């Protein structure tokens, strides 16, 4: 086998590599606009290393996001900034949003990467806020006496307020909701 053939990957090899079926494999090729080549002697289709590298990145993207969507629009690649550029920016004090944006102002791919990075940061922040909300909710459930007065009034049902038994409420209210959904 010649050295050029060592960097050739057949569809069967790649489907095994990604653990996907034929339809998924060809959908990915179509999405990436990759055309396989054919060996003139064996007439066997193959891809070369650069296309396989792109397929690898797409496969990672799909595993991360659950979809091919967004991969091509964002380029599917991360920008690589040399360490000297990073240290130069740090020593020059370039750390404000405006300065960073100005540094990549003319480079559209860098702008897309920044937008993707910003979106990722927003998604992480949203997840953290949801988790914080869930923690606070759990605290209020465990300590309903700490609720605001108007909310306490919604929890207490009698003139001589007694807290609703939470276990009873969870069982009976959930059953009532299920019953109501059945009737709808």
Output the pLDDT for position 114. 72
Output the pLDDT for position 129. 85
Q: What is the mean pLDDT of the chain?
A: 74
HSE at residue 81, side-chain half, CA atoms within 13 A, is 14
**Cα separation of 11 and 15, whole Å?**
6
Output the pLDDT for position 96. 61
Output the pLDDT for position 84. 40
pLDDT in tens, 28-76: 999 888 999 999 999 999 999 999 999 999 998 888 888 888 886 444 4
C-alpha pair distances (Å), 77 with each of 9, 17, 71, 98, 146:
22, 21, 8, 23, 49
Angle at 65 (CA atoms; ends 64, 66), nearest 5 degrees: 105
DSSP lists the bridge partners of residue 9 as: 47
Output the pLDDT for position 98. 64
Consecutive 10-residue runs of the chain (184 residues): their mean pLDDT? 66 94 92 91 92 90 86 46 41 54 59 74 82 82 81 63 61 75 76
Output the pLDDT for position 37. 93
Output the pLDDT for position 132. 84
Output the pLDDT for position 113. 72
């Amino acid at each position: 086998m010649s050295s050029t053939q060592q960097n050739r990957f057949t569809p069967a090899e790649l489907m095994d590599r990604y653990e996907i079926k034929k339809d998924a494999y060809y959908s990915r090729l179509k999405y990436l606009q990759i055309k396989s080549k054919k060996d003139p002697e064996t007439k066997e289709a193959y891809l070369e290393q650069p296309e396989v590298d792109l397929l690898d990145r797409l496969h990672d993207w799909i595993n991360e996001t659950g979809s091919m969507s967004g991969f091509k629009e964002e380029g599917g690649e991360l920008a690589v900034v040399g360490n000297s550029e990073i240290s130069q920016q740090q020593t020059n004090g370039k750390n404000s949003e405006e300065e960073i944006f100005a540094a990549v102002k003319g480079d559209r791919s860098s702008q897309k990467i920044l937008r993707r990075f910003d979106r990722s940061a927003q998604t992480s922040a949203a997840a953290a806020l949801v988790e914080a909300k869930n923690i606070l909710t759990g605290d209020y459930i465990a300590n309903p006496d700490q609720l605001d007065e108007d909310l306490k009034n919604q929890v207490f049902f009698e003139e001589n307020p007694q807290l609703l038994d939470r276990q009873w409420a969870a069982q009976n209210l959930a059953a009532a909701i299920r019953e109501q959904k059945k009737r709808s």
